[in-house]
Amino acid sequence: MGIVSPGFHGRRRESAVKLPPGQYLTEDFPVLSAGPTPRIPVEEWELTVTTETGRQHRWTWRELLDLPSETPRVDIHCVTKWSKLGTDWQGVSLDVLLADVDTAADFALVSSYGGYTTNLPLEDLLDGQAWIVYRYDGEELAPEHGGPVRLLVPHLYFWKSAKWLRGIDLLTEDEPGFWESAGYHDYGDPWREQRYQGD
Amino acid sequence: MARLTETRQETGTARTLVFDVPGWPGHLAGQHVDVRLTAADGYAAQRSYSLSAPDRVELSVQRIPDGEVSPYLTDVLGVGDPVEIRGPVGGWFVWRPGAGRDVLLVAGGSGIAPLMAMIRARRLAGRGTRFRLAYSTRTPGDVFYADELRRPEPGLDVTHVYTRVAPDGWPRPPGRLMAADLGDGPPDRDCFVCGPTGFVESAADLLLARGHDPRRIKTERFG
Ligand SMILES: Cc1cc2nc3c(=O)[nH]c(=O)nc-3n(C[C@H](O)[C@H](O)[C@H](O)COP(=O)(O)OP(=O)(O)OC[C@H]3O[C@@H](n4cnc5c(N)ncnc54)[C@H](O)[C@@H]3O)c2cc1C
């Protein structure tokens, strides 16, 4: 337990669900990003997956929409302390997207239009744990929330769920992304409160 | 562990707090800290606050009606009381005195805090980087650091934007931030935008429309 702050009682907005440590519930949908919001017309949007051998796989917007989609309902947890429960998305499971990609890589470095990057172990993108999504709450995904397409990896802090998704590099060695290079935790498990390096 | 040593009322609803933190490693203008409050029964809440000075642990907190943490920091915490502070955090939204390029700061409400750290760091460095600040508040009474910003400072150009009530005779009618408020001059500047999410979204869009390079627009959203 930390140092007691005299006279602090807290609001304790109790909820039936248990939140990861240090998180509080929010009803609205805060926006966090490091720079201005890129606006990418869907006709120009393209996703590239590059394997460790340099082999490239590409999907256009139309090709993405033609893949079988899922509608995950998940809780999301931002490192800035808010959690949002039962969010509704539509998109393509990474299991579908990577099914025909031949790789022995253990790591993924995800990159965005606008220059943002974030890294994850490849296994965290597979087995029904991650999607690339283009709809939120029944609507087209708004640019400030990462539209037209963002990554969704709800079991990690939300900075891993890169907005304005553009590419995934499959790597044999881990390479830190934008926030990871700026002192944030390499993995980012909210339940273990892995916010910063050394947590 | 930090101890409150000094406070100053910034506005009717905001207070600046100065802490003594033994072993503090120092920080860059623009970084923030996490403040963690713990109740007697172990219940804890934490929030982020920007450091508003480059050379000491100073925070400026706006009371959010209904808030869990900010009313405690503005109204309850007393000089001598301990709090847990973690940081400094964040290595992106920072200004380094050596950067050399002209700077445009755009603040909404309490979003002035990290930008004030940059203005003060520039003053401490004693160098001639040109700064321009566009600062949006609802009314003149909501301006943080009002006396300090009123003092003329060579190379620092301050524009106030009032969204609800402007002082008598103010040339600009009250209203939201517009392109004209960002001044003229070439868009080859490092831009720092900070405030509530909606404000940051629209200010960053205005900067893009004026031709600023998106890679040189850094934003911090207070939620
Ligand atoms: C990197 C960073 C730096 C920050 N720096 C500062 C700072 O220097 N000074 C400062 O005063 N704040 C700052 N904030 C905001 C701060 O962390 C808290 O969000 C704020 O003090 C409200 O906390 P609370 O516990 O009082 O309210 P909560 O209990 O979290 O919320 C109460 C209600 O107010 C709403 N609310 C929460 N935050 C805001 C807001 N900012 N504006 C309007 N409504 C809100 C909530 O949605 C909720 O309905 C910063 C935030 C971040 C992410």
Per-residue pLDDT of chain A (199 residues; tens, 9 = 90+): 678 888 898 877 666 678 899 888 888 877 777 788 888 999 999 999 999 999 999 999 999 999 999 999 999 999 988 899 999 999 999 999 999 999 999 999 999 998 899 999 999 999 999 999 999 999 999 998 999 999 999 999 999 999 999 999 999 999 999 999 888 999 999 999 999 888 8
pLDDT digits (tens, 9 = 90+) for B60-86: 999 998 899 999 999 999 999 999 999
Same fold across B2-89 and B103-221: no
Q: Is the pLDDT of residue B171 over 80?
A: yes
Record the tokens describing residue A126, joined without a space. Answer: 């597979």
Instruction: Report yes or no: A121 and A112 within 8 Å, Cβ to Cβ.
Output: no
Q: Which of A12, A35, A182 shows the shortest C-beta gap to B90?
A: A182
What homologous superfamily is domain B2-89 in, according to CATH?
Translation factors (2.40.30.10)
Of A146-160, B132-146, B197-211, the poorest mean pLDDT is in B197-211
Q: In terms of CA atoms, which chain B residue is nearest residue A184?
A: B90
Kindly report the number of other CB atoms within 10 A of residue A86's CB atom: 9
Q: Is the pLDDT of residue B166 over 70?
A: yes
Q: Which residue has the higher pLDDT, B183 or A99?
A: A99
Instruction: Report yes or no: A160 and A151 within 8 Å, Cβ to Cβ.
Output: yes
* Rounded distance between C-alpha atoms, residue B149 and residue B133, angstroms: 10
Q: Name the residue of B49, B52, B60, B74 whose CB sits within 8 Å of the most ligand 1 atoms, as the mutation to test its pocket.
A: B49
Cα distances (Å, whole numbers) of residue B5 to A4, A121, B8:
17, 45, 11
Cα distances (Å, whole numbers) of residue B94 to A63, A67, A96, B149, B220:
40, 42, 40, 20, 10
**Segments making up each domain of chain B, as ranges:** 2-89, 103-221
Ligand 1 contacts CB of residue B16 (under 6 A): no
Instruction: Report yes or no: B37 and B83 within 8 Å, Cβ to Cβ.
Output: yes
pLDDT for residue A140: 95
pLDDT for residue A15: 61
Could you tell me if A7 lies within 8 Å of chain B, comparing CB atoms?
yes
Record the tokens describing residue B210, joined without a space. Answer: 């004026």
3-state SS class at A89: strand
Q: Percent of chain B having pLDDT more than 90? A: 78
pLDDT for residue B42: 87
* Rounded distance between C-alpha atoms, residue A5 and residue B38, angstroms: 6
Tokens 């993924």 appear where? A108
Ligand 1 contacts CB of residue A30 (under 6 A): no
3-state SS class at A171: strand
Record the tokens describing residue B60, joined without a space. Answer: 């400026």
Ligand 1 mean position to B61 CA, how many Å? 9
Task: Tell me how far the alpha carbon of residue A184 is from its chain's centroid.
Answer: 15
DSSP category for residue A141: P
Single-letter residue type at A130? A
* Rounded distance between C-alpha atoms, residue B1 and residue B23, angstroms: 9
Name the residue among A60, A57, A87 with its Cα closest to residue A73.
A87
Q: Could you tell me the pLDDT band of residue B193, with boundaries at 50, 70 and 90?
A: very high
- CB pairs < 8 Å spanning A and B: 98
Q: Could you tell me the pLDDT band of residue B105, with boundaries at 50, 70 and 90?
A: very high
CB contact under 8 A, B89 and A196: yes
B98 Cβ contact partners less than 8 Å away, ≥ 6 residues apart: none
Tokens 């402007």 appear where? B166
pTM of the model: 0.80
Of A154-163, B52-61, B112-121, B124-133, the poorest mean pLDDT is in B124-133
What homologous superfamily is domain A41-192 in, according to CATH?
Oxidoreductase, molybdopterin-binding domain (3.90.420.10)
Q: Which residue has the higher pLDDT, A27 or B208?
A: B208
pLDDT for residue A1: 63
**Segments making up each domain of chain A, as ranges:** 41-192
* Rounded distance between C-alpha atoms, residue A55 and residue A34, angstroms: 30
pLDDT for residue A89: 97
Pairing of strands B131-137, B103-108: parallel
Residue A68 Cα, gap to closest chain B Cα (Å): 33
Instruction: Report yes or no: A164 and A113 within 8 Å, Cβ to Cβ.
Output: yes
CATH class, range B103-221:
alpha beta
Task: Dump the DSSP string for chain B.
Answer: -EEEEEEEEEETTEEEEEEE-TT-----BT-EEEEEEE-TTS-EEEEEEEB--SSSEEEEEEPPTT-SSHHIIIII--TT-EEEEEEEE-SSS-B-GGG-S-EEEEEEGGGHHHHHHHHHHHHHHT----EEEEEEESSGGG-TTHHHHHS--TTEEEEEEESS---TT-SS-S-S--GGGG-SS-S-SEEEEEESHHHHHHHHHHHHHTT--GGGEEEEE--
CB contact under 8 A, B39 and A9: yes
